């Protein structure tokens, strides 16, 4: 992928000339990797993020890891949320993380959710998935995690 | 016995919506109800008195009970004859096996034959699934139900770039007839009925099944089973896509026409509300969108020139049994009454069987919790009971570990045993529609019907379900309902035991099935071997004939069966569809 991540509007980085006004909102890509069609959770979480004041892009279904990483970079997001309910999470999440690294975009954090066996959670965290949310997690808890862990690019401590 | 409702007494106001309207149109027949006017007046007056007492007590109650269903519908604390003043037994309920079939489609219901216990299974390789099928049949299961993996569901072979990492993960992988042969090895296809949960490539999998059977000497005319083949609900809810809506409808009508003529015991479409509900709809939305989908299929088949009474008897339905007990039973009863009405008055069907809404039920996966998973056994039992009291023809009970992964054998057995206990210990199947006549249930059934017909009317106004889908209407209605529900759970207004109430710190103590990661390579190797061994000329000619059928407008089924028998791969056949008809992508609204 040669379309550089800075080909869009240049994101403001570093402490120079950043005022409160310039601080942008947290931008999140909610993505459905693979062929799995279960999108109830992803769409609900996307709405909750929007209601929480984040900027949200939803990929729609059936995205390849390449498409997701491309969208994350093009849209200059701070966070990618991956949803999987069809058991292909290990392969697909790994691939998204690898591609982000290849593109030098590892500062984009990745979280995941869906039907994910507990014993896979440590494996996912070991490859760089920051958090995994299982069924029964409240929207509030997910939003809080984002607020606690994601700082939008362009703010003072980014 | 000749029991027919005094149907001709009713002036049907508009062709297809609203028993609700009919109720009011019968006001001039006060004796048609269960109670005389004077009696009703007394009951209504006394009810008002009781209501005052009730409000007093509740005002000071320390621990108020709930007042709304899981769909968010407010219900009354008490129902009496005053809630159904026009209640007319013969017209609204009648007898089982008699129009409008509210009490059941068959005259003898479970006294004649118990519902079919049909557990959905599919995992890993064809060999593994075949083993699970044998296990379930040995344990008393009476019908097979196949879950396919994601690449198969979407019409891709295991070696497709898009399919990597998904082989065998949430069902069985089928690339060629070879896999199908292994899948049904040793199972009597002339005696068992087989349900296949498959949508975009449904015609292809059905062709493979027919080809396997015929190779074994079982003629297509004795084959019994179901392909889901309901693309409208895919666009609305489950979201496995291949071609755009219009050509998808054409393929479905091809299967209906072919089945009617050559595979008469097969249900070519299972019109499904299950996934609509799982996507977060309310009970009314599930009912309404499912019947609206059914209307669209009937209209499409009629446009093809098929005779309604030739194909309508083979249309079958598939509903969800969610956790709200009475709401669900009301939904099943309303569904039968509505469909009978629609078929009779909107489509002028004459055959009794055309009016029957026969349905499969699955308990609600979305009602299960990952926390305290053993509680799911109880939820599933209650949901299964609702399905039985609602008169289902077949039933899948979810395994308690389904929310965590593909069920283990042990969990699947408990789920099957749940049905056996209901059928053989509890006595709930002894009397037909045992809750019929309950004030509460009859009122809920009437309301469910009226609200669902209102949705059907809206969709008709949009020009039908295809147009409604294009406008994203059902999709957004469901998204709204799902979001509302989740917020209620989060705020604790809707209790999920073990999740937002009575939660404890726990290690989840269940064994979880893990798909074997080496499966993908083995499956790819098998398909490569098949491609090596097959007759290339037959393959090419078959695919050409399929292409011609697609572009020329003749029925695709004969060419598909030929392709399947020649060991064309699933994707080779689906690529022909994609090439001719184009592809569909998710609009991605939220």
Q: What is the pLDDT of residues B188-208, one digit of tens each?
A: 999 999 999 999 999 999 999
Confidence check: pLDDT of B364 > 50: yes
Residue B496 lies in a domain: no
* pLDDT band at B43; cut points 50, 70, 90: very high
Q: CA nearest B235 in A: which residue?
A: A37
Average pLDDT over residues B199-221: 97
Min distance A10 CA to chain B CA atoms (Å): 27
Is it the case that residue B152 has pLDDT exceeding 80? yes
Which residues of chain B does A64 touch, with a Cβ-Cβ cutoff of 8 Å? 161-162
Alpha-carbon gap, residue A18 to B535, rounded angstroms: 69
- Shortest Cα distance from A104 to chain B (angstroms)? 24
- pLDDT at residue B227, rounded to an integer: 97
Say whether residue A157 is in contact with chain B using an 8 A CB cutoff.
no
**Do residue A60 and residue B153 have CB atoms under 8 angstroms apart?**
no
Helices marked H in B238-315: 245-262, 274-278, 283-303, 308-311
Which residues in chain B are closer than 8 Å to A115, comparing Cβ atoms?
403-405
Chain B residue whose CA is closest to A94: B165
pLDDT of B8 strictly over 90: no
Record: contact A44-B280, CB cut-off 8 A:
yes
What does the alpha-carbon distance between residue B579 and residue B356 come to, in Å, rounded to a whole number?
Answer: 38
**Listed residue (A61, A40, A135) closest to B275, CA to CA:** A40
Hey, are the CB atoms on B165 and A60 less than 8 Å from each other?
Answer: no
Q: For the domain that residue B375 is a member of, what is the CATH number?
A: 3.20.20.240
| B424 within some domain | yes
DSSP string over B464-501: SHHHHHHTTHHHHHHHHHHHHHHHHHHTTSS--BTTTB
Best mutation site among B586, B587, B589 for testing chain A: the one with the most A CBs within 10 Å? B586
| CB atoms B370 and A134 under 8 Å | yes
Whether the complex's predicted ipTM is more than 0.85 is answered with no
Question: Is 80 exceeded by the pLDDT of residue B64?
Answer: no
The minimal CB distance from B482 to the residues A44, A64, A134 is found for: A44
User: For chain B, what is the domain count?
Assistant: 1
The answer to whether B514 faces chain A, any CB pair under 8 Å, is yes
- Residue A75 predicted with pLDDT over 60: yes
Measure CB to CB from residue B479 to each of A43, A90, A117 and give the nearest one.
A43
Q: Please list every residue in chain A whose beta carbon sits closer than 8 Å to the beta carbon of residue B589.
A: 43, 58
Q: Which of B5-19, B285-299, B309-323 has the lowest mean pLDDT?
A: B5-19
Q: Is residue B116 part of a domain?
A: yes
- Enclosing domain of residue B317: 111-490
B263-273 per-position pLDDT tens digit: 999 999 999 99
Q: How far is CA B265 from the centre of its chain?
A: 18
What CA–CA distances, in Å, run from A56 to A76, B109, B185, B526, B583?
Answer: 11, 52, 49, 43, 26
Residue B513: its pLDDT value, please?
67
Q: Which of B156, B239, B403 sits opposite A115 (nearest CB)?
A: B403
Lowest mean pLDDT among A131-140, B295-304, B357-366: A131-140
Mean pLDDT (chain B) is 91
Confirm whether B586 is domain-assigned. Answer: no
pLDDT > 90? residue B548: yes
CB atoms within 10 A of CB B5: 18
Range in B199-208, B249-258, B363-372 the model is least confident about:
B363-372
**Please, are residues B122 and B172 in contact by the beta-carbon 8 Å criterion?**
yes
pLDDT tier at A156, thresholds 50, 70, 90: low
Nearest C-alpha in A relative to B587? A60
Q: How far are the Cα atoms of B21, B107, B341, B419 from residue B387, in angstroms, in the given order?
A: 28, 18, 22, 11
**Coil, helix or strand for B336?**
helix
Q: pLDDT class for A8, splitting at 50, 70, 90?
A: very low
DSSP assignment string, B197-247: E--TTHHHHHHHHHHHHHHTT--GGG--EEE---HHHIIIII---SS-HHH
User: Which pLDDT does position B132 carry in this prediction?
Assistant: 87
Number of inter-chain CB pairs under 8 A, A vs B: 108
Q: Mind listing the pLDDT tens digit for each residue in B388-418?
A: 999 999 999 999 998 887 788 899 999 999 9
* Segment 271-300 of chain B within 8 Å of chain A by CB: 278-280
pLDDT for the residue B512: 67
Q: CB B590 to CB A140 under 8 A?
A: no
Q: Which of B569, B573, B572, B579 is nearest to B175 (CA)?
A: B569
Cα within 13 Å of Cα(B147), Cβ side: 22
Is B92 part of a structural domain of the chain? no
Q: What is the mean pLDDT of residues B86-109?
A: 95
**What's the CATH fold of domain A27-149?**
Rossmann fold (3.40.50)
Domain positions in chain A: 27-149
Smallest Cβ–Cβ distance between B151 and the set A35, A40, A44 belongs to: A35
**Band (A13; pLDDT cuts 50, 70, 90):** very low
Which of B:239-278 have CB within 8 Å of A? 239-241, 278
What is the band of A36 on the pLDDT scale with cuts at 50, 70, 90?
confident
Range with the poorest average pLDDT among A32-36, B196-200, B247-251: A32-36
Query: Average pLDDT in the B431-455 region?
Result: 97
Nearest to B588 among A38, A58, A90 (CB): A58
How close A69 comes to chain B (CA, Å)?
Answer: 15
User: Distance, in angstroms, between A102 CA and closest chain B CA?
Assistant: 19
Of the candidates B195, B298, B286, B300, the one whose C-alpha atom is nearest the C-alpha of residue B233 is B286
Domain presence at residue B88? no
Instruction: Answer yes or no: is B209 within a domain.
Output: yes
Q: How far apart are CA B542 and CA B359, in angstroms?
A: 35
Chain A CB contacts of B369 under 8 Å are: 135-136
Task: Name the closest residue on chain B to residue A45, using Cα atoms.
Answer: B483
Residue B99: is its pLDDT beyond 50? yes
**Touching check for B379 and chain A: CB below 8 Å?**
no
H or E, element range at A56: strand A55-58
Q: What is the mean pLDDT of residues B339-344?
A: 98
CB contact under 8 A, B489 and A138: yes
Q: Are A34 and B166 an interchain contact pair (Cβ–Cβ within 8 Å)? A: yes
B372: left (phi over 0), alpha (psi -120 to 50) or beta: left
B546 in any annotated domain: no
């Amino acid at each position: 992928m040669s379309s550089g991540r800075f080909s869009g509007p240049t994101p403001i980085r570093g402490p120079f000339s950043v005022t409160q006004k310039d601080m942008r909102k947290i931008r999140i890509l909610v993505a459905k990797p693979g062929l799995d069609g279960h999108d109830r959770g992803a769409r609900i979480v996307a709405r909750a993020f929007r209601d929480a004041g984040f900027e949200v892009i939803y990929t729609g279904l059936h995205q390849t890891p390449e498409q997701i990483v491309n969208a994350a970079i093009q849209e200059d997001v701070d966070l990618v949320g991956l949803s999987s309910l069809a058991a292909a999470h290990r392969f697909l999440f790994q691939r998204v993380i690898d591609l982000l690294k290849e593109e030098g975009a590892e500062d984009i954090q990745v979280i995941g959710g869906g039907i994910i066996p507990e014993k896979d959670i440590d494996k996912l965290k070991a490859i760089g998935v920051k958090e995994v949310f299982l069924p029964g997690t409240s929207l509030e808890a997910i939003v809080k995690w984002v607020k606690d862990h994601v700082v939008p690019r362009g703010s003072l401590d980014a | 016995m000749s029991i027919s409702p005094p149907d001709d007494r009713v002036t049907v106001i508009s062709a297809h919506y609203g028993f609700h309207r009919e109720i009011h149109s019968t006001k001039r027949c006060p004796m048609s109800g269960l109670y005389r006017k004077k009696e009703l007046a007394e009951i209504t007056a006394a009810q008002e008195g009781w209501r005052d007492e009730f409000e007093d007590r509740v005002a000071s109650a320390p621990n108020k009970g709930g007042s709304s269903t899981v769909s968010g519908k407010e219900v009354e604390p008490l129902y009496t004859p005053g809630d159904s003043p026009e209640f007319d037994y013969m017209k609204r309920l009648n007898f089982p096996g008699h129009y409008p079939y509210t009490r059941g489609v068959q005259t003898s219901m479970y006294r004649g034959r118990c519902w079919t216990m049909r557990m959905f299974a599919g995992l890993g390789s064809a060999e593994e699934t075949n083993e699970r099928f044998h296990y379930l049949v040995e344990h008393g299961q009476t019908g097979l139900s196949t879950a396919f993996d994601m690449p198969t569901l979407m019409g891709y072979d295991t070696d497709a770039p898009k399919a990597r990492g998904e082989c065998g993960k949430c069902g069985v992988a089928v690339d060629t007839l070879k896999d199908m042969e292994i899948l049904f090895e040793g199972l009597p296809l002339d005696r068992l009925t087989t349900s296949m949960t498959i949508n975009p490539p449904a015609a292809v999998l059905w062709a493979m099944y027919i080809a396997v059977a015929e190779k074994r000497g079982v003629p297509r005319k004795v084959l019994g089973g179901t392909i889901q083949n309901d693309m409208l609900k895919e666009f609305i809810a489950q979201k496995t896509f291949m071609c755009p809506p219009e050509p998808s409808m054409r393929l479905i009508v091809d299967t209906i026409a072919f089945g009617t003529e050559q595979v008469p015991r097969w249900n070519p479409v299972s019109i499904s509300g299950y996934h609509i509900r799982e996507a977060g709809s309310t009970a009314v939305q599930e009912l309404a969108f499912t019947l609206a989908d059914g209307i669209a299929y009937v209209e499409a088949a009629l446009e093809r020139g098929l005779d309604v009474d030739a194909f309508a008897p083979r249309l079958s339905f598939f509903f969800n049994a969610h956790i709200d007990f009475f709401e669900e039973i009301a939904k099943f009863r309303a569904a039968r009454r509505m469909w009978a009405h629609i078929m009779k008055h909107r489509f002028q069907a004459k055959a009794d069987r055309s009016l029957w809404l026969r349905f499969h039920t699955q308990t609600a996966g979305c009602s299960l919790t990952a926390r305290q998973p053993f509680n799911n056994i109880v939820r599933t039992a209650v949901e299964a009971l609702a399905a039985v009291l609602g008169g289902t023809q077949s039933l899948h009970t979810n395994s308690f570990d389904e929310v965590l992964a593909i069920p283990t054998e042990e969990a699947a057995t408990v789920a099957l045993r749940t049905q056996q206990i209901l059928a053989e210990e509890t006595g709930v199947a002894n009397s037909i529609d045992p809750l019929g006549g309950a004030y509460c249930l009859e009122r809920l059934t009437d309301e469910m019907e009226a609200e669902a017909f209102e949705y059907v009317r809206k969709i008709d106004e949009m020009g039908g379900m295809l147009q409604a889908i294009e406008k994203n209407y059902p999709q957004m209605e469901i998204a709204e309902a799902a979001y509302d529900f989740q917020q209620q759970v989060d705020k604790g207004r809707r209790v999920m035991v073990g999740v937002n109430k009575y939660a404890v710190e726990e290690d989840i103590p269940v064994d979880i099935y893990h798909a074997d990661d080496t499966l993908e390579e083995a499956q790819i190797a098998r398909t490569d071997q098949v491609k090596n061994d097959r007759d290339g000329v037959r393959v090419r000619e078959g695919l050409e004939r399929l292409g011609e059928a697609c572009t020329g407008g003749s029925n695709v089924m004969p060419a598909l069966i030929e392709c399947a028998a020649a060991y064309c791969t699933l994707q080779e056949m689906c690529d022909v569809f994609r090439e001719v008809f184009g592809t569909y992508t998710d609009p991605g609204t939220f």
